[in-house]
Structure 1
């Protein structure tokens, strides 16, 4: 079956390196992962032959690569906590400080991302609340195999993930699609580099939860229900 007939979520899960291609073309594989690749390309007006060529040229998975779709629940949760929860808690306070500095110094520049620091601080608070709910309620339930009671919290987390996706879209608008002026200072460059890293990390974080961890919990709930 052609890759065009697979969902973005399935390709992100099963095709190593696909997420890098999706980031390049700004295809949402985490919150919008249910869409078929053909549908997503048509919506964005992208050249399907070009994107398919990029995907088909990706190297096969190395034996050392971890396929998170085949990992156990505890292993995947441990990875999410260490690779994403801890990292977001480092990323966002630093980005807020950088944004405040850039907005204060360059407020007269037409490309100044006015309102960015406030938005990043709101994202920090919302993400912290979200991660605490996962750490204190949902993840302990999943570790104990309480898949049926976990379905309510999972539904809430999915809705909050959609909110995070909208917050990421607003980041692009506030930064004029991350457009730097000629001769941008080091702080401005570091700010946009950091935001791009945050966007990549948060999308992968949501993908691992929505498309692997939560889907697995729902399948097991059906099997054991």
Structure 2
């Protein structure tokens, strides 16, 4: 894949186009917020950063996100084992990683701007409720439900109803996290940024909206592709 940016690309433009590049900039201590109006080359030069390594790390983010584009037809025809593996490695791992990466930004924005934008305090509360729910939910699927689903493929299995009850419980949890995301969207007025939003403020809204889409696709794979095979 050819890199869709160059050494002359502005730091802020990269974050605007691909918000997850902010994780790379944070790692290198490049200011993408207030100091983001400079080319990558200057940002690297100012901090004595290896330009080649920085470009490679940024390109890795683009490649990873490009792979996140899913051909749904592939999964409707795949085995349950492959779907479960994909959900675990892609959606579960991706969700937990993004929750960890996004948490400090949500906290920072609520502390810095919460007085003038009280909706951010509600965003903070809802985000951490969502985080708690998803950590518990993915752990339950990994440790209990997914292994049981694979056993359910055996027609002689006796405790089929127990496993079906677990699926019903998971679907209710999906409804709950969906409601949390709906509330976040409502309180942010569909992620509409105020006139005084800084770079980090903007980043939080973009990544929250991306997390919403990622979660909906996650739930779709389970509710509409995986679970119907067992009910």
- Matched with 1:91 is 98
TM-fit CA distance, 1:95: 2.4
1:135 corresponds to 2:142: yes
The Cα offsets for residues 100-150 of structure 1, whole Å up to 9 and x where unpaired, read as 111111124347522212221111111111111111111001122257242
Pair 1:143–1:117, CA change in 2 (3 A):
same
1:188 corresponds to 2:195: no
- Matched with 2:187 is 174
The Cα offsets for residues 20-65 of structure 1, whole Å up to 9 and x where unpaired, read as xxxxxxxxxxxxxxxxxxxxxxxxxxxxxxxxxxxxxxxxxxxx87
Q: Distance in 1 between matches of 2:117 and 2:201?
A: 14
TM-score (norm 2): 0.62
Which runs of structure 1 show a deviation greater than 6 angstroms over 4 or more consecutive aligned residues?
A: none
TM-fit CA distance, 1:176: 2.2
Higher relative contact order (CA 8 A, sep 6+): 1
Q: What stretches of structure 2 of length at least 5 have no aligned partner? A: 1-70
Pair 1:203–1:183, CA change in 2 (3 A):
same
Larger Cα-atom Rg: 2
Pair 1:146–1:159, CA change in 2 (3 A):
farther
Pair 1:150–1:99, CA change in 2 (3 A):
same
- Matched with 2:87 is 80
The Cα offsets for residues 69-96 of structure 1, whole Å up to 9 and x where unpaired, read as 1110000001101111001111113322
Q: Distance in 1 between matches of 2:186 and 2:192?
A: 10
Quick one: which of 192, 203, 206 aligns to 2:219?
A: 206
Q: Distance in 2 between matches of 1:146 and 1:115?
A: 46
Q: Distance in 2 between matches of 1:162 and 1:87?
A: 20
Provide the aligned length of Structure 1 versus Structure 2.
Answer: 155
SS of structure 1 residue aligned to 2:203: helix
TM-score (norm 1): 0.64
1:161 corresponds to 2:168: no
Q: What is the root-mean-square deviation of aligned Cα atoms in Å?
A: 1.9
Q: Distance in 2 between matches of 1:146 and 1:155?
A: 20
Q: Distance in 2 between matches of 1:206 and 1:163?
A: 11
Q: Distance in 2 between matches of 1:134 and 1:146?
A: 19
- Matched with 1:71 is 78
Pair 1:146–1:191, CA change in 2 (3 A):
farther
